[in-house]
Structure 1
Amino acid sequence: MFSRSRRWAEEPEPYWKQRSWQWSAGFLAVVLVLGGIVALTSGRDTGADPVRASESGPLSGDTALRDGRPSGCSTDDSGGDALPEAPPEDIRWRTLGVTRVPFSASAGPVRTTGDLHWCFARTPLGAVLAAHVIPSQMSGSGWRDVTEQQVVAGAGRDMFVFQRSTVQDIDSGERTGDTAVASYAGFTVTSYRRTTANVKLLLRTTQGYSATTIALRWSGGDWKVVPGGDGSLHSPVTAVQGNTSGYTLWGD
């Protein structure tokens, strides 16, 4: 009986109570969530599609493409495949959820439809902006529409939806006492092709710098986040030791 009790004690906590999941879920808006996780519901919604269908959305599967882009989406792609060496001059910062993210009139997001910020340049810089903006839209109440249109469909997206459904929504301007906010400090494009990109984001927190990678795919005429099989929208967050060489810094 003693051994059984000890075996129970060694069993891991449910994922939504683990610090690693709280950190991962919080990063949806570059927020390190230390609390505010709500309990799972009784599960009466079995059999329902976890993502609300959005047939009229600009990035929906049935949306007609013009010149390879959704209607009304036009960007400056003249930079080609050249990796960015500096931030674009037209960067402006906006608040999404509880963090500030970069917007560019030339690289995107050029269009806004409800909670959806979309239409990124088909360039490495466009992928960089998408890697910042798309995950940062996930903390607010419109995250289901964003997921349906800006996250690549599959088992990973379904897992993300299941996990995200257990986290309280935090919309722009809201702040809870147990939420600490990190900020975007810089980026580097670790790989790029016309159809795929990997962008490493540099984060600044009160403990120093950390980094994580976002995988993206060109799909339906725009950049979309490729989730991992475990439902994560980014790689594990790791501490950055030493200086920040190798990253393009956003500046203050």
Structure 2
Amino acid sequence: MDKRLRRLRRAPEPGPYWKQRSWQWSAGFLGLVVLVGGFIALTSGGDDANAAADGPLSHKSGPRNSRPQGCRTDDSAGSALPESAPKDITWHRLGVGRIPVSASAGPTRTDGPVHWCFAHTPVGAALAATVIPSQMSGSGWETVCRQQVVEGNGRKLFEFQRSAYQDIDSAADTGGGAVGSYTGFSVTSYTSGTAKIRLLLTSTQGYGTTTIVVRWSDGDWKLVPTDDGSLYTTVAPVEGSPSGYIPWGGTT
């Protein structure tokens, strides 16, 4: 292993990570793990150990970019940007928090820790940007990552950094820290291949926002990590009352 990688693994942000401000903004909202800083150049070898595992979202399971077997969603909205959330939103417990789920827009399928099959629409992209990161705290994060994060150096770096931290499968694992919640979303750009989603989040610290990019790949939406291995932009506080977001609404 590269010496820089060994040094990075031994030097995560000090102190219990659920007490760190970056964790409270990130994991409290998204169920994600604080990632150590810095950039590491990773190169691909002939045999990629991080190649997508066999599963419903691997192109090995069917023609590339075709919908996986058994995946059905309502894609009738096409590329039209939404003015409201689906009326069939319900809330489900996942890890340390809750996620919005739509019977029409997804996720409509679950295979172990992988919640998948999102509508090929802006709302489906927004749901993917909300649900997939929420699965990255638990013990099944590697399976989720291999299936629902776009391959490349960004994913390799995320996997390396995430492996330095403890799995969080329940609220007890956070040391009793408060967990935030999803409040709304905004689709800031959309094509049939890529979407940029801005999420509105709430916690005891108030409102915060972060941006996540998703790509249509192997018949479903997947997260696009940044070059530094982040799955989302830095969560920024919102001063005053937020505007321009669509509330998730729904029932518990």
Give the TM-score of the pair, scaled to structure 1: 0.81
How many pairs were matched up? Answer: 228
Task: Decide whether aligned partners of structure 1 residues 239 and 103 sit closer, same or farther in structure 2, where only a CA change above 3 A counts.
Answer: same
> What is the CA RMSD across the aligned residues, in angstroms?
2.9
Give the match for residue 205 of structure 1: 203
Residue 16 of structure 1 aligns with an amino acid whose one-letter code is E
Counterpart secondary structure, 1:122: coil
CA radius of gyration, larger in: 1
Cα separation, 2, equivalents of 1:115 and 1:153: 19
Task: Decide whether aligned partners of structure 1 residues 247 and 238 sit closer, same or farther in structure 2, where only a CA change above 3 A counts.
Answer: same
Cα separation, 2, equivalents of 1:160 and 1:238: 21
Cα separation, 1, equivalents of 2:205 and 2:246: 20
Post-superposition offset of 1:26: 2.5
Structure 2 residue 85 is matched with structure 1 residue 87:
yes
Counterpart secondary structure, 1:130: helix
Cα separation, 2, equivalents of 1:163 and 1:178: 24
Cα separation, 2, equivalents of 1:70 and 1:32: 27
Pairing of 1:80-159 with structure 2 (within 5 A): 80-159=78-157
Cα separation, 1, equivalents of 2:176 and 2:227: 29
Post-superposition offset of 1:17: 3.0
Cα separation, 2, equivalents of 1:25 and 1:240: 14
Counterpart secondary structure, 1:139: coil
Residue 231 of structure 1 aligns with an amino acid whose one-letter code is G
Give the match for residue 53 of structure 2: 54
Cα separation, 2, equivalents of 1:65 and 1:73: 14
Q: Is the 8 A contact 2:31 2:95 kept in 1?
A: no
Residue 78 of structure 1 aligns with an amino acid whose one-letter code is S
Counterpart secondary structure, 1:125: helix
Counterpart secondary structure, 1:70: coil
Q: Identity over the aligned pairs, expressed in percent?
A: 56
**1:24-71, CA deviations, whole angstroms, 9 ceiling, x for partnerless residues?**
7626x624879xx9xxxxxxxxx997648632x101131114982111
Counterpart secondary structure, 2:209: strand
**Structure 2, unaligned stretches of length 5 or more?**
1-9, 36-44
Structure 2 residue 13 is matched with structure 1 residue 16:
yes
Counterpart secondary structure, 1:17: coil
Paired residue for 2:234, among 223, 233, 236? 236
Post-superposition offset of 1:145: 0.5
Give the TM-score of the pair, scaled to structure 2: 0.81
**Structure 1, unaligned stretches of length 5 or more?**
1-12, 38-46
